[in-house]
Structure 1
Amino acid sequence: MALSYKARRRWSILILVVGLPIYIILATVLATTLVGFFGDSALTFILQLLVYIGLGVAWILPFKSIFLGIGQADPDADPED
Structure 2
Amino acid sequence: MALRYKTRKWLALLILIVALPLYIVAAVSIVGLFDRPPILVELLIYVGLGIIWAFPLKFVFKGIGQPDPDA
Give the whole-Å Cα distance in 1 for the aligned partners of 2:68 and 2:25: 33
**Equivalent runs, 1:8-27 vs 2, <5 Å:** 8-27=8-27
**What is the aligned residue count?**
71
With normalisation by structure 1, the TM-score equals 0.81
Query: Per the alignment, in what secondary structure is the counterpart of residue 61 of structure 1?
Result: coil
**RCO higher in 1 or 2 (8 Å CA, sep ≥ 6)?**
2
With normalisation by structure 2, the TM-score equals 0.92
Moved over 4 A (4+): none
% identity of equivalent residues: 46
**Equivalent runs, 1:43-58 vs 2, <5 Å:** 44-58=38-52
Is the radius of gyration larger for structure 1 or structure 2? 1
Specify which structure has the higher proportion of helix: 1
Structure 1 unaligned residues grouped into runs of 5+: none
Give the whole-Å Cα distance in 2 for the aligned partners of 1:28 and 1:68: 27
